[in-house]
Amino acid sequence: MMAKPDDLVAAALFTDRDVADEAWGCLVDADIPASVITEPGMVGAYRLNVMVERRDLDEAQRLIADLVKSVEQ
């Protein structure tokens, strides 16, 4: 069960759905509850927030750090 919305924080932001889904999968495989939330932007752009419970943030970011780095390059 996911936490209340106030307890959720973005572990990472992506613009590619496949990468966001991969990050979500890594977290779920590690038993970290996560969700991908699409946030609309300007002129049809959007970003995908990979959300986790605040208490899991540090571990979640450690697990998906390589995905975030690969997108930044």
Over the stretch 1-58, which tens digit does the pLDDT of each residue have?
A: 456 667 999 999 999 999 999 999 999 999 999 999 998 878 888 899 999 999 999 9
**Rounded Cα–Cα distance for residues 66 and 45 (Å):** 24
Q: Which tokens belong to 45?
A: 């752009």
What number does CATH give the domain 5-72? 3.30.2130.10
Domain ranges of the chain: 5-72
**Rounded Cα–Cα distance for residues 44 and 42 (Å):** 6
Using alpha carbons only, how large is the chain's radius of gyration in Å?
12
Predicted confidence at residue 20, as pLDDT, reads 97
- Pairing of the two strands 8-14 and 34-40: unpaired
Predicted confidence at residue 1, as pLDDT, reads 46
Whether the CB-CB separation of 22 and 67 falls below 8 Å is answered with yes
